[in-house]
């Protein structure tokens, strides 16, 4: 998402916020862009990927609209724990993870169920 009040003609890195945790971008961590300026950071993507792809949670089948592709569909979704209106579908999670995984600019890899997994630390 773009920071409310940001000047569209003069966007700074900090004007780009992750839709899922609202962390402003500092240019030093990976961000993946969806439709209409929606964004997910690498850390949120790791959590989404872990929950949707690795853990395959049992989830009530509910129709939600994906923040990243704007499509309305029936689950599974990862819903941001801190911003419930931010939801990412399984397809976007896989696609974004694939893109970021093969992006040479970022040291980001698809998470595994190991001790380095941010979702499993806490
Ligand atoms: Zn985030
Ligand atoms: Zn989607």
Q: What does the pLDDT look like over 13-41, one tens digit per residue?
A: 999 999 999 999 999 999 999 998 999 99
Asked whether residue 89 carries a pLDDT value surpassing 70, the answer given is yes
Provide the residue count of the chain: 122
Mean pLDDT of the chain: 92
Residue 28 CA, ligand 2 centroid: distance in Å: 25
Half-sphere exposure (Cβ direction) of 44: Cα atoms closer than 13 Å: 30
Instruction: Check residue 60 and give its pLDDT.
Output: 61
Instruction: Check residue 115 and give its pLDDT.
Output: 82
Residue 95 CA, ligand 2 centroid: distance in Å: 9
Instruction: Check residue 120 and give its pLDDT.
Output: 77
Residue 82 CA, ligand 1 centroid: distance in Å: 10
Residue 26 CA, ligand 1 centroid: distance in Å: 12
Residue 47 CA, ligand 1 centroid: distance in Å: 9
**Cβ < 5 A residues, ion ligand 1:** 18, 20-21, 41, 44
User: Residue 3 and residue 7: Cα distance in Å, rounded?
Assistant: 9
Enter the tokens of residue 28. 């030093």
Q: What is the mean pLDDT of residues 57-82?
A: 87
């Amino acid at each position: 998402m773009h920071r409310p009040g940001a000047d569209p003609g003069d966007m700074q890195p900090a004007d780009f916020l992750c839709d899922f945790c609202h962390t402003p971008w500092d240019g030093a961590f990976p961000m993946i862009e969806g439709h209409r300026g929606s964004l997910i950071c690498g850390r949120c993507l790791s959590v989404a990927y872990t929950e949707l792809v690795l853990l395959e949670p049992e989830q009530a089948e509910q129709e939600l609209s994906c923040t990243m592709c704007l499509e309305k569909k029936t689950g599974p979704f990862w819903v941001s724990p801190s911003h419930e209106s931010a939801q990412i579908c399984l397809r976007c999670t896989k696609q974004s993870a694939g893109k970021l995984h093969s992006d040479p600019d970022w040291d980001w890899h698809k998470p595994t169920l190991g001790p380095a997994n941010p979702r499993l630390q806490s």
